[in-house]
């Protein structure tokens, strides 16, 4: 996942603070909800901040939560309730995060339940670009993935289709612009 430089700048500053400040920051991070990539990056950063191991890897992929050595204990100064909250959130996130776009495809909900389908799309929109390179082939693949999300929608859901197309295309464009600027 590629992150905005502002987010990384903020976390660089937080990583240099004392444990009390990092703990308050982590509690705020755990309360914020967003798509799966931001949630997972927030959990990753929260876990690393509390262990004083945070690094600003802007190319970290949101499917890599499984790579965290979650069996290692936190420092004694981290409140037990916060340790438990992070452990539970990580366990849930790992369970809810398919490892690839292909894995996600087998979990598509019924598109005739448009509310559930739209929520699912917004949650998993980061899979449009997961594992792709920011070049012409990657753009073509990302657009094909977006069509896969849109194709099962009922014909009479033109407004929903248009909104999802707009959101997906904006995600792809942002990914491409950021990736080509950072590379």
Give the domain ranges of the chain: 5-96, 101-182
CA 143 to chain CA mean position, Å: 19
Q: What is the pLDDT of residues 35-83, one digit of tens each?
A: 888 888 888 888 888 888 877 776 778 898 888 888 888 888 888 998 8
**Res 3 pLDDT > 70:** no
8-state DSSP, 74: P
Sign of CA dihedral 76, 82, 85, 86: negative
Task: Burial-class residue 38 by CB neighbours within 10 Å (0-12, 13-18, 19+).
Answer: middle
Rounded CA gap, 3 and 25, in Å? 18
Rounded CA gap, 50 and 55, in Å? 12
Read off the pLDDT of each residue in 32-37 and give the average, rounded to a whole number. 73
Model's pTM, two decimal places?
A: 0.77
**Cα dist from 81 to 26, 41, 85, whole Å:** 12, 21, 6
pLDDT-derived band at 1 (thresholds 50, 70, 90) equals very low
**Res 8 pLDDT > 70:** no
In terms of DSSP H, where are the helices of 16-129?
19-31, 36-50, 80-96, 101-105, 114-124
Q: Quote the tokens at residue 30.
A: 């755990």
Q: Quote the tokens at residue 161.
A: 């289709």
């Amino acid at each position: 996942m590629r992150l905005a430089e502002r987010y990384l700048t903020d976390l660089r500053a937080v990583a240099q603070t004392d444990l009390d400040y990092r703990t308050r920051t982590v509690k705020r991070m755990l309360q914020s909800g967003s798509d799966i990539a931001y949630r997972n990056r927030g959990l990753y950063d929260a876990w690393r901040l509390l262990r004083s191991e945070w690094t600003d890897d802007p190319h970290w992929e949101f499917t890599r939560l499984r790579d965290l050595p979650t069996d290692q204990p936190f420092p004694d100064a981290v409140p037990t309730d916060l340790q438990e909250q992070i452990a539970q959130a990580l366990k849930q996130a790992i369970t809810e995060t398919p490892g690839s776009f292909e894995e996600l495809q087998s979990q598509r909900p019924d598109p005739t339940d448009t509310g559930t389908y739209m929520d699912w799309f917004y949650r998993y929109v980061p899979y449009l670009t997961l594992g792709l390179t920011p070049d012409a082939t990657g753009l073509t693949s990302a657009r094909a993935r977006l069509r896969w999300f849109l194709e099962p929608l009922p014909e009479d859901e033109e407004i929903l289709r248009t909104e999802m197309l707009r959101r997906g295309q904006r995600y792809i464009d942002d990914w491409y612009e950021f990736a080509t600027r950072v590379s």
